[in-house]
Structure 1
Amino acid sequence: MSQASASIADEALELLRATHERINNMRVLFNAIIKDLKHGESHDIEELANLGGFLGYDWANYVDCEIEKMQAALDTAEVAK
């Protein structure tokens, strides 16, 4: 594996690790919404749901940008062969 390919693979693994962490954060957020619905007075549900929507949108946008960056790097590495 070339150095460029290894670097891209490392970036991809880091993105997967970060994505795993964000998904776990979303799980905790949705559990908080469920608990507030069941046991709370439901004061925070709308704010928690809005936060979840924002985080999902923001992370999807970030991942899209990273995919484009990695694809461009792969394309460049392929041309350099």
Structure 2
Amino acid sequence: MSQTPASIADQALELLRATHERINNMRVLFNAIIKDQKHGKSHDIEELANLGGFLGYDWANYVDSEVEKMQEALDVAEVTQ
């Protein structure tokens, strides 16, 4: 089933909203690393940094996949108009 440009735009906006939420989560994570380094004698820095690396890698792959799907849908929508 072909998607309309409006539905693709809605998907893009939802992806941007979700990305904003993930970026905020990363901000909280980096603040936790700073606090652990200052107050926790750096016991959890490596685990927190590994978590941040995983989350960044995972989200980047997800966003790449979603952008590719939206581009393909836009290409189809342009041909059918």
Is there any run of 5+ residues in structure 2 with no aligned partner, and where? none
Distance 1:43 1:34 in 2: 12
Is there any run of 5+ residues in structure 1 with no aligned partner, and where? none
Deviation at 1:41, TM superposition (A): 1.6
Per chain length, whose mean CA-contact separation is higher, i.e. which structure has more relative contact order (CA < 8 Å, sep 6+)?
2
Detail structure 1 runs of 4+ shifted over 4 Å in the superposition. Answer: none
Deviation at 1:26, TM superposition (A): 0.1
Distance 1:68 1:23 in 2: 21
Q: Over the residues paired in the alignment, what is the CA RMSD in angstroms?
A: 0.8
> One-letter code of the match for 2:78?
E
Scaled by the length of structure 1, what TM-score is found? 0.95
Number of aligned residues: 79
Q: State the Cα deviation string for residues 35-60 of structure 1 (Å, max 9, x = none).
A: 00011121100000000000000000
Question: 2:53 matched to which residue of 1?
Answer: 53
Is residue 21 of structure 2 the alignment partner of residue 21 of structure 1?
yes
Identical-pair percentage: 86
